[in-house]
C-alpha cells in the first residue's frame, strides 16, 4: 500500500471500490462476449452459411439507447467510443472482418475515420478507386467498405451503381455527429439493417432535361418525404440524382411505381441511421455536378 493510502484510509477505500468496479466491468464484458458466441451459434443453427457480422442499424440503436441513459459526470462521447470499440472487437470474434477504404492523397482523413470507428485491430484495406473498393467486397477480402460522402467528393459518382441486390449504403460515419458533418458512407453487400430512426437513399434518373423542381414535385405526388438531393451526375442523355428520404424506402415500396409513372427510374441505394448529434454541426460543402465519372 502506498504512503498516501496509509495516511488516508478514505482514499484507500475509494481505490478498492474502483478496483471492484473494474472487476465487475471485466466480468460483464466476458459475459457479453459469451452471448455473442451464442448469437453466432444461433445463426449457424438457422443454416446461414454467410452470417452478417456487422449490424450497423442495431449498433446505432444500441448507442442511441445508451447515450439516452448516460448521466453526468459520464461524457456521452466516451460512452460512444467505448461501446464502438467493444462492438468492433466482438464482431471480429465471429469471423473474418476487414474494411475496404477509398484512400486518396487529397483526403487521407477517411482512413482515420475508419480507424476511429472500427478500432485499431480491424484490418483496413486501402484502395485507390471506387472500382477497387467494390472489387474487395465482391471477392470477399472485405466485408464492408468506406467511401467519402458525395457531398465531400462531388467529382465521383460511384453511387450510380448502387443496387440493393448487390451493393448498398448501410451506414453513415461518424455516428456521433450531425449528418451534415463531413464523413463517409459504409457500403456492403448485405441487407439493409434498420435502426429506430433511419434515412433512405434512392438513385433517381431521368432525361437530361429533368430539373430538381420536377423531381421534388414527383416525390411529393408519390407520397415520399424528400430530405434533400446530395449528388447529381450526367452521363449521355441521362441525369441521375442521389436523394435522401426522410425514412427508409424498401425495394418493394409501392410508391416507387408512382415515380416511374412520372418518368423517373428509381432504385433503392440503402440508407443510414441518423447520427447521434453529439458533435457541433458543420456546414455542408457546396455540391458540384459530376460528369462522366467512373465507378
Looking at residue 4, what is its pLDDT? 57
Contact between 1 and 55 under an 8 Å Cβ cutoff? The reply is: no
Domain that holds residue 280: 55-291
Contact between 275 and 141 under an 8 Å Cβ cutoff? The reply is: no
Answer whether residue 224 is part of any domain. yes
Contact between 280 and 273 under an 8 Å Cβ cutoff? The reply is: no
Averaged over successive runs of 10 residues, the pLDDT of the chain (295 residues) comes to 68 96 97 88 65 85 95 93 92 88 76 91 93 94 94 89 92 85 90 94 88 91 95 88 96 95 94 83 42 47
Answer whether residue 22 is part of any domain. no
Closest of 192, 205, 127, 193 to residue 159, by C-alpha = 205
Looking at residue 279, what is its pLDDT? 57
Element (H, E) at 109: helix 109-118
Element (H, E) at 146: strand 144-148
Answer whether residue 14 is part of any domain. no
Closest of 205, 157, 168, 162 to residue 190, by C-alpha = 168
Q: What are phi and psi of 266, to 5 degrees?
A: -120, 135
Answer whether residue 151 is part of any domain. yes
Q: How many domains does the chain have?
A: 1
Cell of 68: 439516452
- Sign of the Cα pseudo-torsion (113, 90, 24, 70, in order): positive
DSSP-based three-state secondary structure for 249: coil
Answer whether residue 45 is part of any domain. no
Answer whether residue 36 is part of any domain. no
CATH for 111: 3.30.70.260
Answer whether residue 69 is part of any domain. yes
Amino acid at each position: 500500500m502506498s504512503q498516501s493510502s496509509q495516511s488516508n484510509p478514505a482514499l484507500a477505500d475509494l481505490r478498492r471500490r474502483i478496483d471492484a468496479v473494474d472487476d465487475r466491468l471485466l466480468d460483464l464484458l466476458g459475459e457479453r462476449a459469451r452471448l455473442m458466441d451464442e448469437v453466432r451459434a444461433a445463426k449457424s443453427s438457422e443454416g446461414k452459411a454467410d452470417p452478417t457480422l456487422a449490424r450497423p442499424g442495431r449498433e446505432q440503436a444500441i448507442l442511441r439507447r445508451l447515450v439516452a441513459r448516460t448521466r453526468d459526470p459520464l461524457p456521452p462521447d466516451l460512452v460512444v467510443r467505448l461501446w464502438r470499440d467493444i462492438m468492433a472487437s466482438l464482431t471480429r470474434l465471429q469471423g473474418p472482418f476487414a474494411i475496404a477504404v477509398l484512400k486518396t492523397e487529397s483526403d487521407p482523413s477517411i482512413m482515420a475515420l475508419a480507424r476511429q470507428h472500427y478500432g485499431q485491430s480491424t484490418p483496413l484495406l486501402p484502395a485507390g478507386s471506387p472500382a477497387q473498393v467494390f472489387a474487395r467486397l465482391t471477392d470477399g477480402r472485405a466485408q464492408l467498405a468506406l467511401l467519402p460522402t458525395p457531398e465531400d467528393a462531388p467529382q465521383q459518382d460511384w453511387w450510380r451503381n448502387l443496387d440493393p441486390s448487390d451493393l448498398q449504403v448501410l451506414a453513415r460515419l461518424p455516428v456521433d455527429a450531425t449528418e451534415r458533418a463531413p464523413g463517409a458512407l459504409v457500403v456492403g453487400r448485405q441487407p439493409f439493417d434498420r435502426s429506430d430512426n433511419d434515412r433512405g437513399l434512392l438513385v433517381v434518373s431521368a432525361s437530361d432535361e429533368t430539373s430538381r423542381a420536377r423531381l421534388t414535385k414527383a416525390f411529393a405526388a408519390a407520397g415520399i418525404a424528400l430530405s434533400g438531393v446530395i449528388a447529381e451526375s450526367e452521363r449521355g442523355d441521362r441525369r441521375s440524382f442521389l436523394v435522401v428520404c426522410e425514412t427508409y424506402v424498401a425495394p418493394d415500396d409501392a410508391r416507387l411505381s408512382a415515380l416511374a409513372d412520372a418518368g423517373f427510374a428509381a432504385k433503392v441505394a440503402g440508407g443510414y441511421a441518423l447520427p447521434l448529434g453529439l458533435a457541433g454541426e458543420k456546414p455542408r460543402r457546396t455540391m458540384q455536378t459530376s460528369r462522366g465519372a467512373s465507378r
